[in-house]
Structure 1
């Protein structure tokens, strides 16, 4: 039934409340609704209910116009929350605000005071003083203006929650509060190259990864494969086995232990394509579809319950060995309902495990994967060829209420003309886009492998990566989904965007193709064109109408703070 003060179209509301909105502790959630008053002033508030069932203090909503009301709330603990909107009439305060005008316009004072008395007396159960004030308003032995003054003083002294009438409530909507690392992370991929040849070699590089400020180390598939190890080749051994060319399960345990010691979580990429000899194929031949060249693809529709069990067994098995995150390629090619079941079961068995969907999912597909439980998805930054393409990716970083982006800057992703063949300056520029454009980002050990010296001075890639992660830790604005604004730049090939959380604001200017020195203008960012701004990368000072970029400094991260 519609409340006396109707509240309609509460947002976010995902698939009529079937799926929860998602935040991390302390991340703002903006709740909006249509609140429809009539002739009486009204109020509305958002109420959070914690996983333990305790209500948090209501957060007042404010009217934005056209009956749209809004409030921003934050949850402080991981778990399953709810939120709802309460509404009420401010009958007593409406009376107090109009009473003098009504009398001045000819209303009978005794009638008006009687109306106020009834409203005040209704508070008697909550405030005993209301009984005395209500009776006083009816006492005709006292002049009307004195009684009115007493009544108005009483209303002015009331706490906000008293004096409300016809309080109504919407149905609760679900809110999932994930661990902070579901939103924020700096990932480092150990790529299949000579320095990372075995698990022991990878373990030896963990101190370097941690020293650069990364908090997740990503491993390629460990399964025994028909091709080279560390690759997404068809799997020939068990999905919970380690390729003997990489080492043993004990070597993996040692890697995980060392990673945790230096503050790194371990992420593992998985592949579901198998070759002859894989135990799954021998046990469940009907669950696979041949794709040629002795390769078989797991078919989720062949036996949904069985496939679900295999996938879940694999995820839980690796999680039991200390793997804290998984990378799933092309998850959008699988039935969404299967992932919904898998992730629900995984959350119950290993609630701290994160899942990243990587591939060419469209924004709508990424949204759907986030709805059913994936924590992060990778937009197609690897396909960007210029400023316009990158702007399209960045424009989607804060879009929606559940999708969390994970930007990747790593050679070998299909951008052969830039990262694969680019020098240190180009690699630093694209790394800055990923690291400063999204709360979660990733690069690869191959980014540090620059071929040959350059004729121009260029930044040291490893040092630059470490500095990017320092900036992320120092600026809360860089670790939020919202607050990214694109800016016009008077130079082709140069990208500019600002990040802000209200108190912390930065302007990032990146030369995506740093072949020669450039002087650029960004007229619509951070203040007046002539105002001096400091680059947090090298400490130099610049103005918005004359920013200098060159191969040694392809990125500027500017703030106005002194």
Structure 2
């Protein structure tokens, strides 16, 4: 005989959101975020029901009673929002109940409208008095006299019918907030993990500290007229001290997270040369992702960058400028990493006795040995946990995780939550350009943020559809938009010219609350290795010092524009959130229009952006006015935060976008009057 399904409560509770993995994993929130809670519920017959959320913070203290409101008629869907105010583990439970007051009020209203008299309503009046008596125990003490008076009036036969019911009918708002509840049915508790704000809202800047070094003249082997030798520039390896000199410029652009590729010793065995060549010369620096040498492994610092005390000074200097350091967590080893000799069982041995290097056919990474997490998983996990907590103790609270999709999910789940048990402020960004199921899975098991497919969404329709997918997944996956990375130079930036760099920066920084930029973007670096979406002379394999001051002086820098975008982001709370993103209709398939509105302050930003970097585009908008906090017929003042011009706009507007002047309008919306 088949077992019966679990018994339902008196009232059904279905499809609770947010719910990750059926409530077995925590949904995501940050401090101060309005988290939408939903449930489907109903009951037999016509009696009224109500719903509320009971929720508790990391301190275990119950938060205020939060009543849910019905959604679209006929859906039986109920909604509310809760707002966690501290980092840590939260939980919420949906409670459904019969609401006798609403049932009574609805029935009495209909009978009065039908012209029924005191005799017809005798039982209703008596039942109302009983409900008032029950309500004395649910309302605040200061409201009890009002409820008592309503109960007495219902039983006072000396009053006309309307006088008997009026006081009770006017208690709708009070008894909505403090209802009489019958047949209370309590659902399953659902967890929420609340991170600090930077888990959702942050602006990242990536640079290689080794490229931030001096450029010194050295004699060349060639000659010029007259037989004289020509002095050429050769890069000298940067250090934490020289990289510190770059920090004020990064902070001045408005970034708050500085991400560095691995800073550990780089292997010498099978070291790669420029552009991933197989043979490195004596001066070639190799890939920082080929971690480990005789100088140490994942808990060590590359000797040419400096010492542990130099690193601490670098972190302190960054902190003084409002920059938080993000460290790369790349769980792979160079052939001469200490782990290879000490723990050969942590790797995959091939039939010929050699250790397998990394491959992504046809690509080969002879300078990298992947860890095999099925060999001694306890030993590997314990060591990596030790390494991560070592850097946490050095002041690192953000880790950009390299290729997490190539490691087991259960490993990440364990590692992330064991780290957070030590320090709940630690954040993890997943660098996983993988299949959607894997990317979403990494978000569910605990990764704080994720890289996305933003780079390859190049039309308004593609980008709108993709952003709407991300909004729908906001309970478990937070996006971080990057126009380029050291690995990725998309074709639109190779060929789109400076206007496309502006366009992609606007899209990345104003669609997503978290965005990032790789150094050199502000210099319009766009030359690719032939036939690939990769930079030529990639900084992954060689030093790439840049003439920042010269580019600024020559007007070949986007730094000022980036600075303004980050200023706009910081100044407008609407841009700090993800779930509030709304798209608006335009009649031009080269133009994207969207808005964000902050529910607490009413701050509203409206963006109209061309995605054509070569031609002037005209478009007509049809705005969703309620999404802007306005009525359909309202007019509003639209003040462009980039061009400092103001327009008088309504639902339908004409807009001109010139990529060589300004490819986007970023409007602050203010109602007229």
* 370-379 or 146-155, larger mean C-alpha shift: 146-155
- Cα–Cα, structure 1 residues 316 and 208, in superposed 2: closer, same or farther, change >3 Å? same
* 357-366 or 321-330, larger mean C-alpha shift: 357-366
Query: Which residue does the alignment assign to 1:432?
Result: 506
Superposed CA offset, 1:467-495 (max 9, x none): 01100011112111122234455556544
Alignment map for 1:146-295 (pairs within 5 Å): 149-150=163-164, 153-154=167-168, 156-157=170-171, 159-160=174-175, 161-191=178-208, 194-195=211-212, 197-226=238-267, 227=271, 228=285, 231-236=288-293, 237-289=296-348, 290-292=355-357, 293=366, 295=368
Report the alpha carbon displacement of residue 498 of structure 1 after superposing the two structures with TM. 2.7
Report the alpha carbon displacement of residue 136 of structure 1 after superposing the two structures with TM. 8.1
Query: Which residue does the alignment assign to 2:64?
Result: 57
- Equivalent position SS for 1:409: coil
Report the alpha carbon displacement of residue 422 of structure 1 after superposing the two structures with TM. 5.2
Query: Which residue does the alignment assign to 1:367?
Result: 440
Superposed CA offset, 1:5-31 (max 9, x none): 433322222222111111112211111
Q: List runs of 5+ in structure 2 lacking aligned partners.
A: 1-6, 139-143, 214-237, 272-284, 349-354, 358-365, 527-549, 626-632
* 37-46 or 526-535, larger mean C-alpha shift: 526-535
Q: Distance in 2 between matches of 1:513 and 1:135?
A: 72
Alignment map for 1:88-487 (pairs within 5 Å): 88-99=97-108, 102=111, 110-122=122-134, 143=157, 149-150=163-164, 153-154=167-168, 156-157=170-171, 159-160=174-175, 161-191=178-208, 194-195=211-212, 197-226=238-267, 227=271, 228=285, 231-236=288-293, 237-289=296-348, 290-292=355-357, 293=366, 295-400=368-473, 401-410=475-484, 412-420=486-494, 423-450=497-524, 460-487=557-584
Q: Distance in 2 between matches of 1:512 and 1:82?
A: 42
Contact map agreement 1:109 1:144 (CA 8 A) in 2: no
Superposed CA offset, 1:506-558 (max 9, x none): 23233444235x13214223769998743210213467423231323233212
Contact map agreement 2:605 2:666 (CA 8 A) in 1: yes
RMSD, aligned α-carbons: 3.3
Q: List runs of 5+ in structure 1 lacking aligned partners.
A: none
- Equivalent position SS for 1:407: coil
Query: Which residue does the alignment assign to 2:36?
Result: 30
- Equivalent position SS for 1:523: strand
Report the alpha carbon displacement of residue 88 of structure 1 after superposing the two structures with TM. 2.4
Superposed CA offset, 1:98-124 (max 9, x none): 347558558655444444444445557
Contact map agreement 1:221 1:230 (CA 8 A) in 2: no
Superposed CA offset, 1:251-271 (max 9, x none): 211110101111110001122
* 315-324 or 422-431, larger mean C-alpha shift: 422-431
- Cα–Cα, structure 1 residues 157 and 201, in superposed 2: closer, same or farther, change >3 Å? same
- Indicate yes or no: 2:132 matched with 1:73: no
* 2-11 or 203-212, larger mean C-alpha shift: 2-11
TM-score normalized by the length of structure 2: 0.75
Query: Which residue does the alignment assign to 1:509?
Result: 608
Report the alpha carbon displacement of residue 279 of structure 1 after superposing the two structures with TM. 1.3
- Cα–Cα, structure 1 residues 114 and 425, in superposed 2: closer, same or farther, change >3 Å? closer
Superposed CA offset, 1:303-324 (max 9, x none): 2211211221221111111112
Report the alpha carbon displacement of residue 52 of structure 1 after superposing the two structures with TM. 1.9
Q: Distance in 2 between matches of 1:188 and 1:560?
A: 29
What is the number of residues matched between the two proteins? Answer: 556
